[in-house]
Structure 1
Amino acid sequence: MTRNVLITGGNSGIGYELALALAARGDRVVIASRDQARSQQAVDEIRARHADAQIEALPLDLGDAADIDRFAAELLARMPTLDVLALNAGLYTLKLRRLPSGYEAMIGVMHFGHFRLTMRLLEALQRAEQGRIVVTSSLMHRFGRIDEASFTDPSRHRTGISAYAQAKLANLLFTRELARRLAGTPVTVNAFHPGAVATGIYRELPLQTLITALMLTPAQGADTAVWLATAPELRHVSGEYFVKRKLQRGSAASRNVALAGRLWALSEATLSG
Structure 2
Amino acid sequence: MSRYLLPASVLGTAVGGAVLLKDYVAGGTCPSKATIPGKTVIVTGANTGIGKQTALELARRGGNVILACRDMEKCEAAARDIRGETLNHRVSARHLDLASLKSVREFAAKVIEEEERVDILINNAAVMRCPHWTTEDGFEMQLGVNYLGHFLLTNLLLDKLKASVPGRVVNLSSLAHVAGHVDLEDLNWQRRKYDTKAAYCQSKLALVLFTKELSRRLRGTQQPRASPCGPCLVGLPLCP
TM category, shorter: 0.7 to 0.9
TM-score by length of 2: 0.79
For the 8 Å contact 1:86–1:133, the answer to whether it is kept is yes
**Residue 216 (structure 2) aligns with:** 180
Q: What's the % identity of the aligned pairs? A: 34
User: Does structure 2 conserve the Cα–Cα contact (< 8 Å) formed by 1:134 and 1:229?
Assistant: no
Describe the superposition over 1:174-202 as per-residue Cα deviations: whole angstroms up to 9, x where unpaired: 0000011112133100002224xxxxxxx
Could you say which residue in structure 2 is the equivalent of 1:127?
163
Give the SS at the match of 1:74: helix
Structure 1 equivalent of residue 111 of structure 2: 75
Deviations 1:15-64 (A, max 9, x none): 00000000000000001111011000000111111223410000011111
**Amino acid corresponding to residue 188 of structure 2 in structure 1:** T
AA aligned opposite 2:64: R
1:189 to 226, 229, 237: 226
Instruction: Please name the residue that 1:103 is paired with.
Output: 139
For 1:226-259, what per-residue CA distance to the aligned partner results, in whole angstroms no more than 9, with x for missing partners?
x4340xxxxxxxxxxxxxxxxxxxxxxxxxxxxx
Contact in 2 for aligned 1:132/1:229 (Cα 8 Å): no
> Letter of the aligned partner of 1:80 in structure 2?
E
CA distance in 2, matches of 1:154, 1:134: 31
- Superposition RMSD in Å: 1.9
Q: For residue 136 of structure 1, what is the aligned residue in structure 2?
A: 172
Alpha-carbon distance between aligned partners in 2 of 1:37 and 1:98, rounded to the nearest angstrom: 24
| Cα separation, partners in 2 of 1:93 and 1:147, compared to 1, 3 Å | same
1:167 partnered with 2:177: no
Q: Say if 1:7 and 1:157 are closer, same or farther in 2 by CA, change over 3 A.
A: farther
User: Structure 2: how far apart are the matches of 1:67 and 1:26?
Assistant: 28
- Deviation of residue 94 (structure 1)? 3.3
Cα distance in 2, alignment partners of residues 156 and 100 from structure 1: 21
Distance (Å, rounded) in 2 between the aligned partners of 1:61 and 1:94: 16
The gaps in structure 1 that reach 5 residues or longer are: 196-220, 231-273
Gaps of 5+ in 2: 1-36
Kept after mapping to 1: 8 A contact 2:130/2:142: no
Letter in 2 for 1:124: K
Give the distance between the partners of 2:58 and 2:191, measured in 1 at CA.
Answer: 40
- Aligned length in residues: 203
Aligned with 2:238: secondary structure? helix
**Matching of residue 19 in structure 1 with residue 29 in structure 2:** no
Match of 1:84 among 114, 120, 142: 120
Which shows bigger deviation, 144-153 or 60-69?
144-153
Alignment check: 8 A CA contact 2:182 2:202 kept: yes
Name the SS of the counterpart of 2:203 in structure 1: helix
Measured after TM superposition, the shift of residue 157 of structure 1 is 5.1
Q: Which runs of 4+ in 1 moved over 4 A?
A: none
TM-score, reference length from structure 1: 0.70
